[in-house]
Structure 1
C-alpha cells in the first residue's frame, strides 16, 4: 500500500499485522464461518466475474494518448475498462476503470506479457507505474524489456468513478483536533466526527457504490483488466495494501496468475482484517519511530537534537506541546505535525528530510516546518485529491470486514495501547472509527489460501516495517504453498523492491525474467542506512 496520507490529516494505512515479538493486544471481531447464503453470493459473483472478463476480452481497450491533465506523457497510453458495479449482477450498472500502459522496451520475442501494479492504500493510484520506464529507473531496466508496465486506478479512485465522503475543500481546510485526547469530551467530539464522516460517505457516494467498495471486487476488477489486456494470465506486483489485493486475487483466480510479487505484506488472516491490523500497526510504528530517533541521536553532529533516543523524544514532546499551545505559523498543530513526522517511520527516504526540518525548528527556523507540514490548500480537486484517497481507504476497510460497534471496546483497546505505544495509537483509532458506525453491510473477508494453479509467489519484506509488520509476510508465506520469502533483516522501510539492495533486486529480476526462485527462503542484509 502506498502512503496516501494527505498533509492535513493523519492517516494510518490500514494494512498491518503484529510484530513477530508482540503478543496480540486486543481481539478483533472474529470473522464468522461463511453461511450458505454468503457462499451462494460468492458463487454468483464468481460467475459474474467470468461474464465480465469474457466481455472485456472481446472489447479490449481503446488505447489513446492520455488526457493532458493526467500528466502522463507519450509513449504512455491510457484507456478505460468497463466492469460491473455489482458482480452478482454482471448485466446491471457498469463503471469505468482508468488504465494506462507503456509497451515493453525489448523486442517482440523478449516480451513476456503485462506486469500490472498496485501501490496500496486502499486508495492509491497505480497510474504512475509506467513512468518507471520513461524515467529510466535503473532497477526496472531489464524487467521493462520483457513486460508492458500497466497501472490502473482501482474502483472509486482518481479517474475510476471516484467516490467522496466530505467536501474536498472542507477536508483540507477544517481545523484538526489533537489526536491524543485530554478528556472524555475530546473523545466524544472525535466520535461525533467519525459518525458524521461515515454518514457523509453514504450521502456523497450512495449506497449502491459504497456497498461494492471491497477488496474482492477490486480483485475481480483486476481479472477483468487482465482479460481486456488480452492476457490469459497476469503478472502482478503489489505493495502494502496491494499485497492483500494480490493475496485475494491469488485465492479467487489462482489459475490466472503467471507471476506475482508482493512487497511489504498485509497479514491476510481473516481475524486480522482490519480492526486487529490497525492495533498491531500502532505497536510497529512506535518501534520504527524509536529506530529513527536512535539514528537522529547517532547523527547529533548534523541535527543537534540530542545524543540519545530519550533526548530526541524530549525534543519531539517539546515541539508537540508548543504546537498544541499555539499552532506553529497559525496552521501546524499536533495533528499536522504527526501527519508530517510519521513519514519517517514509513520510509527511510524521509529520515533526512524530516530530521532536517526538525533540526531547523530548534535552530529558530519555523518556516521550514510550516512549509513541510501545513495543509496543502491546493489539494481540493475531487477526483485526484487526498479527500478521495481517504474516502476509498475508509470505504474499503470498513466494508471489507466486520468491525466492533462497541465504543467501550475501542476505548479500552486504544487506551491500553497508547500507554505503551503512544506515537500513532489514537490517531489511528480516529482514522478508522467511522467503521464502528458504517452505514452499509460489512462483509466477511476472503479466506486466503493456495488454489489450483497458483505458481510460486515471491514475498519480500523488511523485519522492522511499521505499516505492514513482518508477521504478515510469514502468515502469507504459510498460506501460499510453494511461495518464497525474502527477508530484509534489520531494515524497516516500507516498500522494499523500490530500494537499492542487490540481494533483493537480483532475485526480483530473476523471478520476473525467468520464473527462477531460490530453493529455500533467503535473508538479506539491510540496504544502506541514510546519511545526513
Structure 2
C-alpha cells in the first residue's frame, strides 16, 4: 500500500502503511504460513535492548534549538538519542534518532488566568505511522485548541524513526528520478505491463541494497519497538505513554507485547491487524477490498451533490465521469504531469479523509468542464518534496519487506490480485506495484511476532477505529482489541476517515481526554456516532477553502 501522510483539519498527522506476504506461496485465503527464515527476535536482542536503555537513561537527551529553528516556534526543542543498529550487538554500530519536544504548559485552557497549575504527567510520545512517517513536527499540535488540555499535562514528544529524515536515512533510488509522471495504473493490466512492473520492482529492490548497504536488514518493526524502549529511558520515563496512528499501532502493539511492564498508557488510533498470518500480505488484500467500499462511499456522496458538481446523480454516473477523465488524461496529461496514475493517487488520498471529498470532486468537475488547474494543483507530483518522499518510500519498503516472508513467485501475486480486482479494481493493482519489491528483497525476512498479552500483564489501553476505514480496515481494530487483554475499543460508527484522535468527533475526543488525562476508560467498548458528512464546496468558496489540505495532498509520494 502506498504510504500517505496528511494533516487532518484538526491537525492530527495520519499515515498509513500496509502490505505483505508469505514466502514462496499463499493459500487461497491469503494468509501467510507461520514460518520464515529469520526469527522475530531472541534473547540476544532483548539483552541488547536492556543495555541500550540503561545507557540512554544515564545519558538522557540534550535538547536544544532545532536544526530548522527559524521555521519552528521557540517552544519546540530538538535532540538525539543513540541506539544500536543491531540490538544483538549493542556495542557495535550505533545510529542517532532525532527527537523533538514541547514541554507541558501546565496551564488548563478552560480556566481563567491564575488558576492552579495542571500537574505534569510525563511525556506523551507519538508516531504517525508509515512506515516512513516523520513525527518530528508532532509537538506543534500543542498550538491547536483540540490538543491544549493534553499539552498542559504532557511533554509532547515526536521523533523520526530509524531510516527517516536525519535518523540514519535510507534511500533506494536517486530522489531526482523518484517521481514518474505522468503515469498510468491500469485497473486490469496487460501481461506486457505486468512484465514491465516486475522488472521495475526487481531494480528497485537492488537499488535499496546498493544505496543502503548491509545494515538494511535492521530496519524492522521490531527494531522500531526496541528503539521506542530506548527513547522511553532516554526521556527519563519509568513507564511509557504512547500514541500510535496507523502503522504506529503495529509496532506499538509489538512494544506492548515485549515490554508490558513498561507501559503506562497507550492509544492505538486506526489499528493495523496484527495477526501474524496476515502480516503483511493478507492485510494488503483486505485493504484493497476496503478501499473499494470507501471509493463507493465517495461516489455516492458526489452523486448526492450533483447540483454542485454536475458529475451525475448516481454513484455509477460519477464512476463514468471519473473514467472519462482517465481516458482524457491518458491521451493528454493535464499540465504535462497528471496522467491516469496521478488522478488515481489523488482520489486514493481522498479515501483517507472525507474532508478532502469536496476538493477532489471540484477538481474532477472543473477538469471535465475544461479547467485543468484545480486537478494539476491537487494531483501533480510535489517535486520540491521528492527527497522526503523517496526517503519515506524507502523506509516503508524496507520495514515491510523485512518484517515478514513474502511470495517470491509473481504468479502468486497475479493469481490473488487478479481475482480480487474483479470486485475491487480501484486500488488492488496499485497496492501490488507498491509492494512488489518485497518479492525480490535481497536480505533475510523475519517471522512476525505473535502480538498477545496475558490478562493483567498490561495496563488498560485504548483502541480507536472508524467502522469504514479503508487504510486499516475495522477487522484490524477488533483483532488488536482481542489480543491486548484489558483494552477498550471506541468505534466511530458509519465513518471512514483514517485517524480519529482529536479530530472533529467530540464523542471520540471525550473518551481520549478521559483516558490520557485521568486514566479512565469505559467499563466496556463504546460507540460514537459518525461525524457529519462534509459540505460540498460552492463555487464562490472554492479558491479559499482548505488551502492547507491542498498543500498536504500535493506532498504525497507518487510511488515508482
When normalised by structure 2's length, the TM-score is: 0.88
- 3-state SS of the aligned residue for 2:383? coil
> Gaps spanning 5+ residues in structure 2: where?
7-14, 21-26, 108-116, 537-560
Matched, 1:178 2:196: no
Aligned length: 512
Matched, 1:115 2:118: no
Aligned mates of 2:28, 2:385 — CA distance in 1: 37
Matched, 1:505 2:514: no
- 8 Å CA contact 1:14–1:278 kept in 2: the answer is no
Listed as ranges, the matches of 1:256-267 within 5 Å are 256-267=262-273
How much has 1:174 moved relative to structure 2? 6.0
Matched, 1:140 2:143: no
Aligned mates of 2:224, 2:437 — CA distance in 1: 21
Deviates more, 1:341-350 or 1:258-267: 341-350
How much has 1:172 moved relative to structure 2? 2.1
How much has 1:25 moved relative to structure 2? 6.6
1:490 maps to what in 2? 494
RMSD (Å), alpha carbons: 2.0
- 8 Å CA contact 1:16–1:469 kept in 2: the answer is no
Within the candidate set 280, 291, 296, 2:286 is matched to: 280
1:398 maps to what in 2? 401
How much has 1:499 moved relative to structure 2? 1.4
Within the candidate set 224, 229, 234, 1:223 is matched to: 229
Matched, 1:412 2:415: yes
Aligned mates of 1:127, 1:436 — CA distance in 2: 32
How much has 1:73 moved relative to structure 2? 2.5
How much has 1:3 moved relative to structure 2? 5.2
Judged with a 3 Å threshold, the aligned counterparts in structure 2 of structure 1 residues 70 and 416 are, in CA distance, closer, same or farther, namely farther
- 8 Å CA contact 1:121–1:241 kept in 2: the answer is yes
Aligned mates of 1:76, 1:30 — CA distance in 2: 46
Aligned mates of 1:86, 1:72 — CA distance in 2: 33
Aligned mates of 1:308, 1:16 — CA distance in 2: 32
Listed as ranges, the matches of 1:97-108 within 5 Å are 97-106=97-106
1:460 maps to what in 2? 464
- 8 Å CA contact 1:83–1:221 kept in 2: the answer is yes
- 8 Å CA contact 2:118–2:152 kept in 1: the answer is no
How much has 1:363 moved relative to structure 2? 2.1
1:207 maps to what in 2? 214
2:334 maps to what in 1? 328
Judged with a 3 Å threshold, the aligned counterparts in structure 2 of structure 1 residues 512 and 16 are, in CA distance, closer, same or farther, namely farther
How much has 1:529 moved relative to structure 2? 1.1
How much has 1:212 moved relative to structure 2? 0.3
Listed as ranges, the matches of 1:311-460 within 5 Å are 311-380=317-386, 382=387, 385-451=388-454, 453-460=457-464
Within the candidate set 311, 315, 332, 1:309 is matched to: 315
Aligned mates of 1:69, 1:162 — CA distance in 2: 21
Listed as ranges, the matches of 1:121-160 within 5 Å are 121-133=130-142, 135=143, 137-160=144-167
1:42 maps to what in 2? 42
1:28 maps to what in 2? 31
- 8 Å CA contact 2:3–2:396 kept in 1: the answer is no
1:468-501 CA-to-partner distances (Å, cap 9, x unmatched) read 0000000011100110000111000000113121
Aligned mates of 2:468, 2:395 — CA distance in 1: 27
- 8 Å CA contact 2:181–2:381 kept in 1: the answer is no
How much has 1:146 moved relative to structure 2? 0.8
- 8 Å CA contact 1:402–1:444 kept in 2: the answer is yes
Judged with a 3 Å threshold, the aligned counterparts in structure 2 of structure 1 residues 187 and 13 are, in CA distance, closer, same or farther, namely farther
1:38-83 CA-to-partner distances (Å, cap 9, x unmatched) read 38x5110010000000000000001001112783321100000000
1:82 maps to what in 2? 82
Judged with a 3 Å threshold, the aligned counterparts in structure 2 of structure 1 residues 332 and 160 are, in CA distance, closer, same or farther, namely same
- 3-state SS of the aligned residue for 2:168? coil
How much has 1:173 moved relative to structure 2? 4.9
How much has 1:334 moved relative to structure 2? 1.3
1:206-251 CA-to-partner distances (Å, cap 9, x unmatched) read 122x100100000100110100000011100111001101111111
- 3-state SS of the aligned residue for 1:379? helix
How much has 1:349 moved relative to structure 2? 1.5
When normalised by structure 1's length, the TM-score is: 0.93
